[in-house]
């Protein structure tokens, strides 16, 4: 069966196509991605402006065309924090679904955390024991902990790398004042969820998903003799300061850092450092599967149950 997952995120619209069947590992066959950075189109009233809506619709139109061209049998479209929190998000989605004949659904932050956790659990297997999974997107941070396929704790905070960059970081390179404001905001936000997570610190493996964290792992490997497959606390501490002192152009020249992520990788690094320090995590292992794979796995589980 050929499935397409259309991920309408804060940074990108990403179509991932896989061939699979119940009980099988999803086999990627096609990808189509365009950058959008929806947080840059938010008005003071927290609405996506006309320019952002027009761009979003154009990108979704092209993604749907690509989906049809590769003969996707079932398209699973979902939206995350940018559309979820925009005041006119519901209206935008309603019109998109009507005009493009798709069923774009908004995932809650907790649903994002749970689906990402499912993907990490399937990737590492039952032998990996108790997992703590961290995901940093463009609009939000998700953390989930548990021993089963459904986490015991799943939480989401508006600490995405794109959102924080847009709201806090000023200058090129970023000013020390804006960096301090960013770090204070991250620390204050994490305080709200720490009581629920502290008792779950005793985990067997701590896992990182998302493009931001994969990029940071690569930089840790390049700069501190790592393997590019993990993030160590000491390394991310050093990287955060080093990245913040660079200009956008300097960061864009780093291996694995796109022009889009050159602006927001600093915020992503400080969120990572703060989460690891507050939860006393010495290392995060990179998982190649994340939210999109979780959506596929959940849908395939449902299909299998329907046919039994």
The model's pLDDT over 30-39, given as tens digits with 9 standing for 90+, comes to: 999 999 989 8
Question: Does position 103 have pLDDT exceeding 90, yes or no?
Answer: yes
Is the CB of residue 35 less than 8 Å from the CB of residue 260?
yes
Beta bridge partners of 207: 133, 285
Given a cut of 70, whether residue 182 has pLDDT beyond it is yes
Tokens representing 108 are: 């809650």
Average pLDDT over residues 14-20: 96
Structure confidence at residue 200 (pLDDT)? 60
User: What sign for the dihedral angle of Cα 34, 35, 40, 45?
Assistant: positive
Q: What are phi and psi of 138, to 5 degrees?
A: -75, -35
pLDDT level of residue 197 (50, 70, 90 thresholds): confident
**In order of start, what are the domains of the chain with their CATH numbers?**
2-106 (3.30.420.40), 124-286 (3.30.420.150)
| DSSP 8-state symbol, 251 | H
Percent of the chain having pLDDT more than 70? 98
pLDDT at 65 over 80: yes
- Each residue's pLDDT tens digit, 110-142: 999 999 999 999 999 999 999 999 999 999 999
21-27 mean pLDDT: 85
- Give the model's pLDDT for residue 199: 64
Q: How far is CA 224 from CA 16, 25, 177, 283, in A?
A: 33, 34, 28, 14
What average pLDDT score do residues 263-285 get?
96
Residue 266: C-alpha distances to residues 70, 164, 179 (Å)? 37, 10, 9
Across 8-15, average pLDDT: 95
Q: Please choose, from the candidates 47, 283, 12, the residue with its C-alpha nearest in 3D space to the C-alpha of residue 160.
A: 12
Residue corresponding to tokens 């005793």: 202
| Residue 55 φ then ψ, to 5° | -65, -45
Tell me, what's the pLDDT at 308? 63
The mean of the pLDDT values for the chain is: 94
215, 265 Cβ separation under 8 angstroms? yes
Strand stretches in the chain, DSSP E: 2-8, 12-19, 27-35, 74-79, 105-106, 131-136, 141-146, 153-157, 205-209, 230-232, 283-286
CB 232 within 8 A of CB 283: yes
**84 has a pLDDT exceeding 70:** yes
CA distance 135 to 112: 9
């Amino acid at each position: 069966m050929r499935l397409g997952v259309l991920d309408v995120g804060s940074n990108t619209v990403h179509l991932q196509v896989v061939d699979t069947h119940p009980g099988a590992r999803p086999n990627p066959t096609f990808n189509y991605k365009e950058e959008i950075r929806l947080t840059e189109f938010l008005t003071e009233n927290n609405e996506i402006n006309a320019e952002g809506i027009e761009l979003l619709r154009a990108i979704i139109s092209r993604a749907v065309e690509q989906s049809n061209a590769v003969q996707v049998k079932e398209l699973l479209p979902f939206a995350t924090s940018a559309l979820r929190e925009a005041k006119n998000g519901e209206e935008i989605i309603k019109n998109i679904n009507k005009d493009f004949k798709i069923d774009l659904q908004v995932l809650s932050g907790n649903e994002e955390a749970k689906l990402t956790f499912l993907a990490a659990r399937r990737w590492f297997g039952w032998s990996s024991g108790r997992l703590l999974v961290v995901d940093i997107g463009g609009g939000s941070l998700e953390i989930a902990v548990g021993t089963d396929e459904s986490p015991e704790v799943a939480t989401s905070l508006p600490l995405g790398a794109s959102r924080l960059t847009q709201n806090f970081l000023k200058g090129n390179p970023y000013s020390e004042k804006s960096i301090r404001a960013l770090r204070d905001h991250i620390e204050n936000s994490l305080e709200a969820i720490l009581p629920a997570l502290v008792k779950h610190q005793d985990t067997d493996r701590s896992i990182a998903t998302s493009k931001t964290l994969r990029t940071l792992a690569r930089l840790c490997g390049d700069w501190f003799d790592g393997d590019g497959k993990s993030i160590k606390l000491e390394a991310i501490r050093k990287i955060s300061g080093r990245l913040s002192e660079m200009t956008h152009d300097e960061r864009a020249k780093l291996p694995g850092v796109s022009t889009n992520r050159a602006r927001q990788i600093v915020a992503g690094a400080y969120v990572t450092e703060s989460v690891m320090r507050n939860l006393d995590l010495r290392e995060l292992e990179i998982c190649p599967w994340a939210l999109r794979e979780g959506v596929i796995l959940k849908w395939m589980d449902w299909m299998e149950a329907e046919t039994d």
